[in-house]
Structure 1
Amino acid sequence: MLGFKAGLRDFLGVDGTFLKGLYPRQVLTAVGLDSNNGIYPVAYTVVEAETTSSWTWFMQLLGEELELGANSNFTFISDRQKGIIPALAKVFPKVEHRFCLRHIQENLKKQCKGKELSDLVWECHRATTLNHFKHVMDELKKMNDEAHAWLCKIPAETWSKSHFSGRAHTDYLLNNLCEVFNAKIEEGRDKPIITCLEYIREYLMKRLCVVQKEIDKCQGELITTATIILEEIKIQIAKYVAKYNGAGKYQVASTWQDQYVVNLNERSCTCRFWEITGFPCMHAVSAIWNKIENGEDALDVEDWVYPCYKLSTWRAMYLNKINPINGRSMWPKSDCPFTLTPPKHHTQVVMSTRLDMLGGQKKKRRRGVDEPNNQTTKLSRKFLAVTSSKCHNNGHNSRTCKGQGGISEVGSKGKT
């Protein structure tokens, strides 16, 4: 918790995944972003099921540890689970709750399919201004009125950048944070509950050490990812011209006739990229360079980046370690007055024809609508060029060869 607070980024992904052993339970996780946009697991627990009550309990404990009040301006992202939506609304009614866009698209594909439709949905997500968002939504309506009506039922502030606040300093809209963490602990999810929890703790302990080694290799003011992003922004500056108004504001225009207003005093731009991500946009960088070229006192471009991308912030996040613990024989005896009974044994429903050797438990996740069902390792021969080994002509194989010229044809004439 202390490391996450040091990261200066109020953003958490929350999700649940099932245990694969003989005692079916759910693992609820809360995963954040570190300064280098890597996963930073914050909290996890085991509950009976993903219900509103279990999510409410988990959120209450998470809020106490992070010192979040009922009116906290925090940002969460989830897969639109039925239990977590009312739980967040109850515990943190003022938070910004984003929905994973990939899951929104998968649900949309069940009714409306097509690459052009999918590209427009992504364009709606990437729009950082209201005008751009409305323009793309109008194009979507012209293409497919049914998809437009379905998408309008989901609040735009949950899935489009144009409606995001700048509190989280990230435009992340995929809940890959939790999915990556769930994949890392997959080997521990088919073990008993205590063993599973120990597996997760040991993984986190090792992960902190691995990232610490990468931090020790870094030099400079910004972290690696921030440096790459900022260099890409600088490349696009040549096509922009900034004009100063004398009061800290700049009018920045390009040859493409797009024009925005940059306010360096407030560290904002009307394109909203700076506000959403914490990085100065290409318009802001153009204004900063214009200020430096005119001999005015101005910070370097790297100093205008939000502090969560500083190397010092990344280093502060990983100063807090997870301590090793003794084995079970060294654990103190609990003075709990109640007798704790093991959970009820339950054999899970097998969803695949390929059973596990230890009890027929499902090992693979359910595939999405647009994912191929690779149940066999045999590759498809569709659209491959086939050559006959008899006549050496294309378009058929040796089994269907009827002597279309070449060696096969000569051989057949000789036999007759």
Structure 2
Amino acid sequence: MDQIESNPTIRVRALQEQVQKEYQVGFSIHKVFKPKYIKKKLVQGDYNKQYDVLRDYILELQSTNPETTIKLEFDLEPNLSAATIRFKRMYVCLGGMKKGFRAFLRDFLGFDGAFMKGPFLGQILTAVGVDSNNGIYPLAYAIVETKNTDSWKWFLECIGDDLDLYANSNFTFISDRQKAAISQLFPYVEHRFFLKHIHNNMRKTWRTNEYKEHLWNCATARTVLEFNHMMKEFNSYDIEAYNWLKQIPPQHRARSHFTGRAVSDMLLNNLCAVQTKCVGQLTPSATNIMKKNVNWASQYTTRWNGLDKYQVQGPWQDQHVVEMVERVCSCRKWELTGLPCKHVIAVLNDKADNGEEVGELHTYAHRVHLLETWKVACMYKVETMKGRAMWPISECPIKITPHLHHNQPRRPKKKRRQSVEEKIQKKGDNGASGSGSQIHVTSGNGKLTRKVIKVTCSKCKNKGHNARTCKFQGGK
């Protein structure tokens, strides 16, 4: 029992060896497997019984977290004459997270899905926002039977009801190309794709770092002219890869074609920061960006056209036009991120040198990046819950049973399929060591090839096996 509590995933073979060593008695693996299964259920709980208390859990969650939205769907409509009903889907959006998301003033949501483990498999869909410090902010999740267009549409409909989204809403979504569901429900939203997923798909055919650099150069270009230039360079490097990338519309993958409605030029997921001992007017991430922009701005010169425009020129043949009334710069960083770029700061420095009143620098940043906005949004918390013994009891007499799962007619996979990048990194960390005789290495063209390496046994010093499989060859 102690072994299983400390390590529920302990292998039966390892548990068998420990029991035999402790009691000095031989046990078959079958006699060890059954007690482990029983004890594991006592430690983790019975999965079937978890569905019985699902309604009680919902009542407790809604009572401790006001304005929480929870939606349940079943395979069939509830029938009062039936004793049980089969679970299908569940959607949860906590009230505190919903209020905090609205307080961030950022109409930006990212969607993704992952597999669930256990006896009742399914998919968990998540919706996350981006807070004022550019950290991930979880908003809602759903447990569905599978990741398809129907389940994504249901999840998006639930999100739309919670956030009052309509077909003509000016929102920005970023996802792993759930294009069908999003375009059907919200045809006017700006839909971006995760660049990492695009890169992973590209690596299936084009695996060298040069392709990754060209992809990133095209994606991070902020103007259409710069984007066209980078795409032309990619075409010169490899026309087949260029034609493959060209099939993905640039408004889904390139900053040059993004709008500024989300006040973010994000292309990937990032890590969540913690709000501790922050000072100043802007969030920590915005403050760091502004410090870099201030340092770069000192190397730029400005020319005023006599009205509201300024020509800003730098030492790297970097020349742009800043319109202070419209608050835009031709580099588009101010428009996309909501933070004044180095060209804008150079203009402000020039105006201050000429005796004009320009005010504090943070007043030119979007309200999303203000520390006050971040603190107000973080005031909304997820409330704690009591133990199951103190949950309210649902009066519904119909019990919920788990959904059906049909195993595929083949040996189940024990590990998920790794991407090419993960395989290269793993093999690079391990090198040629270990007991295996075959590793993957990267050839000159970037493709994975197999290379056979014979290992040497540390016991008998013979080649072809290791110490674990040694049969005391060589007379030792």
Relative distance call for 1:267 and 1:331 in structure 2 (3 A) is: same
> What corresponds to 2:267 in structure 1?
173
Distance 1:218 1:380 in 2: 47
Relative distance call for 1:265 and 1:5 in structure 2 (3 A) is: same
More strand by share: 2
> What corresponds to 2:203 in structure 1?
109
Distance 1:15 1:249 in 2: 42
Question: Which of 353, 356, 369 is residue 420 of structure 2 equivalent to?
Answer: 369
Relative distance call for 1:173 and 1:376 in structure 2 (3 A) is: closer
2:388 corresponds to which letter in structure 1?
Answer: R
- Within 5 Å, give how 1:178-189 maps onto structure 2: none
- For structure 2, which runs of at least 5 residues remain unmatched after alignment? 1-97, 434-438, 442-455, 459-476
| Aligned 8 A contact 2:120 2:402 in 1 | no
> What corresponds to 2:133 in structure 1?
36
> What corresponds to 2:251 in structure 1?
157
| Aligned 8 A contact 1:24 1:346 in 2 | no
Shift in Å, 1:239: 2.3
Shift in Å, 1:376: 11
Question: Which of 413, 418, 428 is residue 351 of structure 1 equivalent to?
Answer: 413
Question: Which of 302, 307, 310 is residue 247 of structure 1 equivalent to?
Answer: 307
| Aligned 8 A contact 1:252 1:286 in 2 | yes
Shift in Å, 1:117: 2.1
Distance 1:367 1:9 in 2: 34
| Aligned 8 A contact 2:173 2:192 in 1 | yes
Shift in Å, 1:59: 0.7
Distance 2:365 2:381 in 1: 27
Residue 370 of structure 1 aligns to a residue in which SS? helix
Shift in Å, 1:378: 4.9
> What corresponds to 2:91 in structure 1?
none
Distance 1:70 1:380 in 2: 56
> What corresponds to 2:160 in structure 1?
63
The aligned length equals 337
Residue 251 of structure 1 aligns to a residue in which SS? strand
Residues 270-291 of structure 1 show CA distances to partners (whole Å, capped at 9, x for unaligned) of 1101111111111111111111
Distance 1:264 1:59 in 2: 39
Residues 15-61 of structure 1 show CA distances to partners (whole Å, capped at 9, x for unaligned) of 11111111001111001111111111000111111111111111111
Relative distance call for 1:375 and 1:137 in structure 2 (3 A) is: closer
Relative distance call for 1:345 and 1:125 in structure 2 (3 A) is: closer
| Aligned 8 A contact 1:125 1:160 in 2 | yes
- For structure 1, which runs of at least 5 residues remain unmatched after alignment? 182-209, 353-361, 384-396, 400-416
| Aligned 8 A contact 1:22 1:347 in 2 | no
> What corresponds to 2:329 in structure 1?
269
Relative distance call for 1:223 and 1:338 in structure 2 (3 A) is: same
Shift in Å, 1:345: 5.3
Tell me whether 1:132 sits opposite 2:194 in the alignment: no
| Aligned 8 A contact 2:149 2:181 in 1 | yes
TM (normalized to structure 2)?
Answer: 0.67
- Within 5 Å, give how 1:202-351 maps onto structure 2: 211=274, 214-215=275-276, 217-336=277-396, 338-344=398-404, 350-351=412-413
Distance 2:428 2:263 in 1: 43
> What corresponds to 1:123 in structure 2?
217
| Aligned 8 A contact 2:234 2:242 in 1 | yes
1:106 corresponds to which letter in structure 2?
Answer: N
Tell me whether 1:12 sits opposite 2:72 in the alignment: no
> What corresponds to 2:192 in structure 1?
98
Shift in Å, 1:375: 7.8
Shift in Å, 1:338: 4.0
Distance 1:337 1:243 in 2: 77
Distance 1:32 1:145 in 2: 37
Relative distance call for 1:94 and 1:380 in structure 2 (3 A) is: same
Residue 350 of structure 2 aligns to a residue in which SS? helix
Tell me whether 1:380 sits opposite 2:441 in the alignment: no
Residue 137 of structure 2 aligns to a residue in which SS? strand
Relative distance call for 1:53 and 1:378 in structure 2 (3 A) is: closer
Residues 216-273 of structure 1 show CA distances to partners (whole Å, capped at 9, x for unaligned) of x111111111111111111111321111123221111123333211011111001101
| Aligned 8 A contact 1:220 1:311 in 2 | yes
> What corresponds to 2:54 in structure 1?
none
